[in-house]
Structure 1
């Protein structure tokens, strides 16, 4: 994303990219070298090779907190006293977890702090690698659980077109903005009436398993030490099966220092400074798997193959009575 001299733009982190800074760079250079050009005529406007829309979390939070229809669904987290007295028999919400309690007890957040979880979700629109996109969303935990994941209450930060060379570079502006709201705080007013006064903190980052591995700069679930949370070593079920790796044991939890500084012997290569320097970074549990990503894995890709004529020979539907939805029987030819 260019130009480099603008504060809201970031340069491409791939030094071997090879793309020109601007898609009309040749035109600009030709105009500069044109000896007959009128010096009073401005140069053509520079057009970045690639750019994307990037929403402000600050602005999005303001819209939610000044919306009267949202006032009834906004909540605060439990106080320090409530957390210390509570005996959690089962996990009800993110506020029931050890990460929130750890941050609250340490004084890094307060009950009224706006807690944010960043979602990074890669997907493909078509049956081809070039159609890859990555969606960056924010989930506001101070919205009641019954309304938290509704589309109108989630904040879409941006959509990265194509498979990014460095996914972490796209989260940099968001982390910088949240760090500013954490340290300086925010005040939201409507018609001179104060709606909120406090700060904002990222308490976790999640997504699908490969995406989380990239964010953590981790060897991934196929490596010998493939658990991002603990130091469990893989087990191969030979001779029962030659496929897959299993982690039947719970080993010691990875230390925050090993995540930050890296531990190549255990598939960890060191966190980017953006995460390591977050005041709310808590260690392995800061990056967690979203269980919804584990359901129907790859189902969209299979459905595409099922209905696309070029793959009918390999993927075909049974008769329509075998499914809970309707389609024309002629669809399942062969």
Structure 2
């Protein structure tokens, strides 16, 4: 599905303002799904490359010249891994953004803290592929608008399910440790709903 960012933010997510371009009939996060996705997205990427170069629209009165660019590609955690052609969060390099090898004591896998900044995947590394947790080159790297690994984002709906509920709630508060129940706050909720939200968010630890 495509969103057109020239449309008002209030309207752009409505069904009549979106473009449904494909329904992919397979599961995600596997070598086969990544290969199938690259093949199925091929014609779409070719069209996007043409739109980046520009095109002319002729009318009875005049000609118009247009360009269009793909600004971002999003999805849930597994879908974004496929778009990047990342081997996934269970691979030796589980982070799709940074090159961080996982430590695996026994059957566990985790990323140890480090005082040093981690290397962020570059455009060149993504375009080459086959390194540090990446499969084949991401098909999106062909686009002029492909600027960094942050081209791939996680959509808001799935971020709310990534165990960050309490952090999201704090973003809406008018004070660092405040409450949504503040004067003139358009996000004010009935007390019973607010209590349920706090109980739910307190049931899991912060990431």
TM-score, normalising length: structure 1: 0.40
Cα gap change, 1:175/1:149 in structure 2, threshold over 3 Å: closer, same or farther?
same
TM superposition shift of 1:288? 2.1
Q: Contact (CA 8 Å) 1:186, 1:197: kept in 2 or not?
A: yes
- What residue number does 1:174 align with? 44
**Higher RCO by CA contacts (8 Å cutoff, separation 6 or greater):** 2
TM superposition shift of 1:248? 4.3
Question: Which is greater in Rg?
Answer: 1
Q: Which segments of 5 or more consecutive residues in structure 2 lack a partner in the other structure?
A: 28-32, 163-195, 197-207
Q: Is structure 2 residue 126 aligned with structure 1 residue 262? A: no
CA shift digits 1:35-86 (9 cap, x unpaired):
xxxxxxxxxxxxxxxxxxxxxxxxxxxxxxxxxxxxxxxxxxxxxxxxxxxx
Mapping for residues 13-28 of structure 1, pairs under 5 Å: none
- Aligned mates of 2:147, 2:72 — CA distance in 1: 9
TM superposition shift of 1:166? 0.8
- What residue number does 2:137 align with? 271
Count residues in correspondence. 155
Give the alignment's Cα RMSD to 1 decimal.
3.1
Mapping for residues 105-116 of structure 1, pairs under 5 Å: none
- What residue number does 2:12 align with? 148
- Aligned mates of 2:57, 2:112 — CA distance in 1: 47
Name which of 46, 57, 78 aligns with 1:210.
78
Q: Which segments of 5 or more consecutive residues in structure 1 lack a partner in the other structure?
A: 1-136, 298-323, 325-334
TM superposition shift of 1:222? 1.6
Mapping for residues 82-101 of structure 1, pairs under 5 Å: none
- Aligned mates of 1:162, 1:235 — CA distance in 2: 31
More strand by share: 1
Mapping for residues 156-171 of structure 1, pairs under 5 Å: 156-163=20-27, 166-171=36-41
TM-score, normalising length: structure 2: 0.62
Q: Contact (CA 8 Å) 1:185, 1:200: kept in 2 or not?
A: no
- What residue number does 2:55 align with? 185
- Aligned mates of 1:154, 1:193 — CA distance in 2: 28
Name which of 101, 105, 119 aligns with 1:233.
101
- What residue number does 1:314 align with? none
- Aligned mates of 1:247, 1:227 — CA distance in 2: 12
